[in-house]
Structure 1
């Protein structure tokens, strides 16, 4: 019985070491590790280019980063629900306006909250989207049968 427990303990130890070694080889680093520049430049000294997605208009991509006459490609991501022309600028938007019957669109404006990666941003932007085909009912109003 003692021999069986010793053998089991050795087997568990070996499997633990193998698993730890396998995890160490496959470790890719944290979210920000792949975006870090290989130099001693700070964020204020680095000039960043626009994020260019690898496929389509959004998703993972690459951006140029230049510091002290050296250029690097770093990973970036454009969210798929974000507007392409204002992707490096973050805005605080107000509520959607009423639907314009002529164009069948509604719009809202936003003021600049912050600029990412030293981007050139407009102080205010206006975005629009198609109106919803459904008419919303007021609270407490029942459907007519």
Structure 2
């Protein structure tokens, strides 16, 4: 009788542990749901335009928040998570005083939604004066 009770108790413990493992199999180490297609939003600074912030990730009806950081020297409209390959700068447009170039998406970090192609512009460099060539320091005849 004692032997049967021990075997039954052991069987219950094993079954409980197995059920717990199956229940938690769909969760990662942080206890959140395992999902194949997480979509990440842009990093939004907690205060100001840069520094520490939060990035929201969604999958089906599940949402997570991740810590992130926006570099303070980052001034691009398309964000730090969209990487583009750019062509050469076009000639200066005298009517607007700007020059532009286009870029094609090379890599989207964190599955962020990025534009496939973008166009950026910047002010034209002011014309620089050319310095006259210096005369040599050789002997004069």
TM-score by length of 1: 0.58
Contact 2:74–2:80 (CA<8 Å) still a contact in 1?
no
Contact 1:94–1:108 (CA<8 Å) still a contact in 2?
yes
Secondary structure of the residue aligned to 1:84 is coil
The answer for the alignment partner of 1:131 in structure 2 is 124
**Alignment partners' CA distance in 2, 1:84 and 1:76:** 18
**Alignment partners' CA distance in 2, 1:107 and 1:130:** 9
Q: Pairwise mapping of residues 1-145 of structure 1 onto structure 2 (< 5 A)? A: 38=30, 39=32, 41=34, 44-67=36-59, 69-79=61-71, 80-135=73-128, 143-144=131-132
Max Rg structure: 2
- How far off is 1:58 after superposition? 2.7
Residue 120 to residue 106, structure 1, CA distance change in 2 (3 Å) = same
- How far off is 1:103 after superposition? 0.6
Contact 2:33–2:62 (CA<8 Å) still a contact in 1?
no
Extract unaligned runs of 5+ from structure 2: 1-28, 134-141
**Alignment partners' CA distance in 2, 1:68 and 1:106:** 43
**Alignment partners' CA distance in 1, 2:129 and 2:108:** 36
Superimposed CA distance per residue, residues 21-80 of structure 1 (whole angstroms, 9 cap, x where no aligned partner): xxxxxxxxxxxxxxxx823636x4322122111233233211112346442221112233
Contact 1:93–1:108 (CA<8 Å) still a contact in 2?
yes
User: What is the number of equivalent residue pairs in this alignment?
Assistant: 104
Larger deviation, residues 107-116 vs 87-96: 87-96
